[in-house]
Structure 1
Amino acid sequence: MAAKPRYQPAAIFNRRTAGVLLHPSSLPAPAINGRTPCSGNLGSSAEQYLNFLSRANLNVWQMLPTGPTHDDGSPYHSWSALAGNPDLICLNRLCQWGWVNSARLTLDSESSAINKTELAQLRRVACQGFKSFIASSAGHNVSKDFATFIAEQHYWLDDFALFYAIRTLHQGASWHQWPKPLRLRSQKALADIRQQCADDIFQAQFEQFAFYSQWCQVRRHAQQLGIALFGDIPIFVANDSVDVWANPDQFLLDPEGNPTSVAGVPPDYFSATGQHWGNPHYHWQTMQADGFSWWKNRVRRQLDQFDLIRIDHFRGLCAYWEIPAGSIDARAGQWVEAPGEALLTALFKEFDELPIVAENLGLITAEVEQLRTGFALPGMLVLQFGLDGEPKNINAPHHCEPINIVYTGTHDNDTTCGWLGSLNAEQQRHIAEYFSVSAAQLNHWTLIKAALRSVARMAIVPMQDWLALGAEARINTPGTCENNWSWQLDSTALSEQLASEIAREINRFDRTGDPLPTLEFMHP
């Protein structure tokens, strides 16, 4: 029997780096004709933010998934695993490019803010301007680029645009509520839609081209500054998504397209009843039989956008929590084995280098760690989870290894200041003693410096922690549906003083990104 190949960490993990966790929607949003959008975007604020990272000597920008979101705004609840979120399109930038006349980007409402629905209305206005632009001599080159984009991305864009058009025709209803011929993809019904909804199909193509064009500009700017973009792949996809509608054979569905079981996790740190996510499970036998083509396309799209990518809930590639579709919470579920080794082997064969990070938080077994280490994938260590006083806690700083990526907290945690403030005096005293500081000295810098001084090759700190913000700046509370994903950075927060303070600590702990010897990974 041939020996298994020995994998090594990707080149980016052979540098000592530090970065920031901040989703683009949390960037300050420049006003559009005097009104402020509800979401940050890929325009001037993104470039200014990258410039700040450069001045602070930070060399990694980690963000959450960038797909189009449902009404809850969760980046982990997207209706496409391959498309970009049109809410991240900077309409002002389209005006600067000459695609749209800025005077046309007006709304009847007198509110000072532009909500998600109004943003969509403005994109329709922008699309009409784009049509006129590419029909003119001035838009000739952009018209060619647009046609090339549609041709090159047809493998996902065709179904996405159809899904968008049908969804719009049915006022945003889930595809499970569409008429049966559309729900089950009758070729005649889809051909009729292509004619009936040609304008909406063009709208979807335009929005994805605009997102792609602006993303490329942001990525070029990041590359010029030596900043790596760090993306995120939710392991599962939303039930109401083009992915499930267009690829029903890839998921465990009944003949009507309804999931037979759904995803989640058992009771854990965040919830006594577990988490009931509702995502349909993959039909792993079908996926494996066709060489995991759906996954290869998904990863290919992510590598087009990012320098490294995290697989959220990595343990689901080893075994996933299967909840009967009719259960109201997660406690009725059971663990079912998944072909993670076969999938990762196929992906590593497909791509020359695969800079993947495994989110290995929660209930992690020896089998999950064997899968991760067998492919030399970095795991995560979160300091907020490691300071409970238990010496054997794997998230404790003294258990950190070079292959770890160390975090003060993630998007699912409270901010460090908010978390410290929620602890009682005894818990604060223990943490202060652990770091050899007084209780009065214990603050956000205590955890930030612990992350920076660690042996981990990469350290990531949420922007809220760099800014010493409290619980009011928390972006998500797992298991809740209210007041999440809406926090935005103040436009004045990224000061030169803060950049200097961060740069000093980056230099102090040698996280400037210089090449280091290749990690010798311990293989099972």
Structure 2
Amino acid sequence: MNLKRKSGILLHPTSLPASAGIGTIGCPAFDFVDWLSASGTKLWQVLPLGPTGYGDSPYQPFSAFALNPLLIDFEDLVERGWTEKNEIVPPDYIKTEGNVDFGSVVWWKNGVLKKIALKLLDGGLKGLKSEFENFCKENDFWLDDFACFMSIKSHYDEEGMWNKAWPEELRLYQKNAVDLWEKSHEDEILTTKLIQFFAFTQWNALHEYAKSKNVEIIGDIPIFVSADSADVWANQKYFQLKENGESRVVAGVPPDYFSPTGQLWGNPLYDWKKIAEDGFKWWILRIKNILKLVDYVRIDHFRGFDSYWAVKSGSKTAEKGKWLKGPGVALFKAVKNELGELPLIAEDLGEITDSVRRLRDKCGLPGMKIIQFGFDCAEEKKGSLVNAFLPHNFFNANCVAYTGTHDNDTTQGMLNSLCEENLCLIASYLEGRKVGFSEACAMRSDGNLCRKLVSLCFSSTASFALVPMQDLYGFGSDCRMNTPGSACANWSWRMRSDMLYGELASKKCEWLKELNCLYNR
């Protein structure tokens, strides 16, 4: 896939301002699209959109197909006539500004959504019956299992995960037992389906609006799925599980620049042989589903399709494991045969081998270049910097450049943490001359280095240039989105309203417009 030269902003919808408790896909999301459009910025990258569970990570959703109910905008439901204004008033502990407090938002918002859905169902759906039934029919390949899973989970969740706490006949997904549960919990299951209908209706409206403003959305597919998900429960043959549903081996990566003990993600690993025997049907459906929602898809941990790190279940760290072969090019050929040309971006970071690079290139996928990594122990050869993440070494324009990602510190935060040698190196690189420590410190303190790194990303030969919203505003480490290996204080950063509305937002919009014009994006 060859990309046309464009720029974009990385911002998850939960980080949008001016709504109760958490960013939504309502009015602020439409305003953000307008802001992007006014600046000539043509791409909006989001994180995975699925329903989050423990830890609030979008990379550990209860379903690889469903949308997160917390993104539903209550004001939009009122405008559509699906609820009343007095039914959506937030309690005093729900704030409209500041970081997301997921616990309070989940407690309040999920309860309100269930009341709205039940009231609509009791009232015959107020003219929505046909539209809702069509939605259920079009999505029955995942929606039935997801709604049933969430229903059973709500009854047994306090006792542990599905593969530990559920009765054996439900744990093993025995059809008779699942059918009986669905019949005896029909209202509860319909409620979950209707809430998904709300979410998909709103997201589709936002996506269409973005298209009308010449803004395309880049989505994100985590390679692995959560152990506590409808995906694993309903498709156990596709995973390396024990007879009781527990994982034999789990996902992670060996020690790297993020962690000296590796990263132990804990996701169940695929049985690629079984998936291949079924013509990769589950993966084809997964990619087809997300391509209805977005225009491009970033595939997280692409190297896992070549080979993946398998760690014995129960291990404390990811240090001890082994590399096992993934499906390779066969998966992507199957998906391409079914869906045509694939607008995919390969997250080819971490321990990347020649074999991974060959797979990426065989599939014709652009990879990622993280400019922050270019100055991390930059290699020198006869006085020249040869690090592949530095823009002068982007030998192939068919790639996507970032200042940083959701897993990195913010660019200003990274600059604040640098030693004298690396800080001077960055300043010298950006200035095209040798810069001393005192001058480099001054450039760091006034935000000049961060701004220059954003400009560097835009000026690069990479077809797509993407910058996290935090980097555009030069925010420090306190605005970081995620710290890999840390289980708390992640995913909660939220913009202030003045970053989207008012004089400050207008100034950033104008700067973006200048960069896009100057660098032909």
TM-score normalized by the length of structure 2 = 0.92
Deviation, 1:445, is 1.2
Taking a change above 3 Å as real, the CA distance of residues 25 and 112 of structure 1, as seen in their structure-2 partners, is closer
* 1:122-133 paired onto structure 2 within 5 Å: 122-132=112-122
Deviation, 1:188, is 2.8
2:107 maps to a residue whose letter is T
Task: Determine the C-alpha separation between the residues in 2 that align with 1:188 and 1:337.
Answer: 36
Which residue of structure 2 lines up, in the alignment, with residue 520 of structure 1?
none
| 2:417 matches 1:418 | no
Which residue of structure 2 lines up, in the alignment, with residue 119 of structure 1?
109
Which residue of structure 2 lines up, in the alignment, with residue 519 of structure 1?
none
Deviation, 1:129, is 3.2
| 2:294 matches 1:300 | no
Which residue of structure 2 lines up, in the alignment, with residue 4 of structure 1?
none
Mapped contact 1:357–1:377 kept (Cα < 8 A): yes
Task: Determine the C-alpha separation between the residues in 2 that align with 1:55 and 1:129.
Answer: 40
Percent of aligned pairs sharing the same letter: 39
| 2:134 matches 1:144 | no
Which residue of structure 2 lines up, in the alignment, with residue 175 of structure 1?
162
Task: Determine the C-alpha separation between the residues in 2 that align with 1:110 and 1:213.
Answer: 29
| 2:470 matches 1:464 | yes
1:393 maps to a residue whose letter is N
Which residue of structure 2 lines up, in the alignment, with residue 157 of structure 1?
143
Deviation, 1:492, is 1.2
| 2:83 matches 1:100 | yes
| 2:478 matches 1:502 | no
| 2:499 matches 1:493 | yes
Provide runs of 4+ in structure 1 moved above 3 Å: 132-135
2:49 maps to a residue whose letter is T
| 2:148 matches 1:166 | no
* 1:390-429 paired onto structure 2 within 5 Å: 390=379, 391-400=385-394, 401-429=396-424
Mapped contact 1:266–1:275 kept (Cα < 8 A): yes
Task: Determine the C-alpha separation between the residues in 2 that align with 1:94 and 1:132.
Answer: 17
Task: Determine the C-alpha separation between the residues in 2 that align with 1:342 and 1:171.
Answer: 38
SS at match of 2:458: helix
Match of 2:30 among 37, 47, 51: 47
Mapped contact 1:99–1:133 kept (Cα < 8 A): no
Task: Determine the C-alpha separation between the residues in 2 that align with 1:105 and 1:52.
Answer: 27
SS at match of 2:431: coil
Match of 1:26 among 15, 26, 36: 15
Match of 1:484 among 483, 487, 490: 490
1:21 maps to a residue whose letter is L
SS at match of 1:429: helix
Give deviations 1:224-261, integer Å, cap 9, x for gaps.
00011000000001111100000000001111111110
Mapped contact 1:161–1:202 kept (Cα < 8 A): yes
Which residue of structure 2 lines up, in the alignment, with residue 280 of structure 1?
268
SS at match of 1:330: coil
| 2:460 matches 1:454 | yes
Task: Determine the C-alpha separation between the residues in 2 that align with 1:153 and 1:343.
Answer: 23
Deviation, 1:272, is 0.1
Unaligned runs of 5+ in 2: 96-103, 380-384
Mapped contact 2:114–2:195 kept (Cα < 8 A): no
How many residue pairs end up in the alignment? 489
| 2:484 matches 1:474 | no
| 2:63 matches 1:76 | no
Task: Determine the C-alpha separation between the residues in 2 that align with 1:185 and 1:363.
Answer: 37
Give deviations 1:337-372, integer Å, cap 9, x for gaps.
112211011111111221010000110000000000
Mapped contact 2:39–2:513 kept (Cα < 8 A): yes
Deviation, 1:329, is 0.7
Task: Determine the C-alpha separation between the residues in 2 that align with 1:331 and 1:144.
Answer: 53
Task: Determine the C-alpha separation between the residues in 1 that align with 2:251 and 2:478.
Answer: 30
Task: Determine the C-alpha separation between the residues in 2 that align with 1:462 and 1:256.
Answer: 42
Task: Determine the C-alpha separation between the residues in 2 that align with 1:180 and 1:379.
Answer: 44
Give deviations 1:143-170, integer Å, cap 9, x for gaps.
2110100011101111011001111122
Unaligned runs of 5+ in 1: 1-8, 31-35, 512-524
2:516 maps to a residue whose letter is I
Task: Determine the C-alpha separation between the residues in 2 that align with 1:334 and 1:29.
Answer: 47
Please report the RMSD computed on the Cα atoms of aligned residues, expressed in angstroms. 1.4
Mapped contact 1:274–1:330 kept (Cα < 8 A): yes
* 1:244-323 paired onto structure 2 within 5 Å: 244-323=232-311
Mapped contact 1:24–1:41 kept (Cα < 8 A): yes
Match of 2:210 among 213, 217, 222: 222
Deviation, 1:393, is 1.9
Task: Determine the C-alpha separation between the residues in 2 that align with 1:112 and 1:365.
Answer: 47
Which residue of structure 1 lines up, in the alignment, with residue 73 of structure 2?
90
1:509 maps to a residue whose letter is Y
SS at match of 1:321: strand
Mapped contact 1:105–1:126 kept (Cα < 8 A): no
Deviation, 1:411, is 0.1
Task: Determine the C-alpha separation between the residues in 1 that align with 2:271 and 2:512.
Answer: 46
Which deviates more, 433-442 or 389-398? Answer: 433-442
Taking a change above 3 Å as real, the CA distance of residues 187 and 127 of structure 1, as seen in their structure-2 partners, is same
Task: Determine the C-alpha separation between the residues in 2 that align with 1:72 and 1:326.
Answer: 19
Mapped contact 1:268–1:363 kept (Cα < 8 A): yes
Deviation, 1:106, is 4.5
2:55 maps to a residue whose letter is D
Give deviations 1:307-344, integer Å, cap 9, x for gaps.
00011000000000010112111111111111221101
Deviation, 1:190, is 1.4
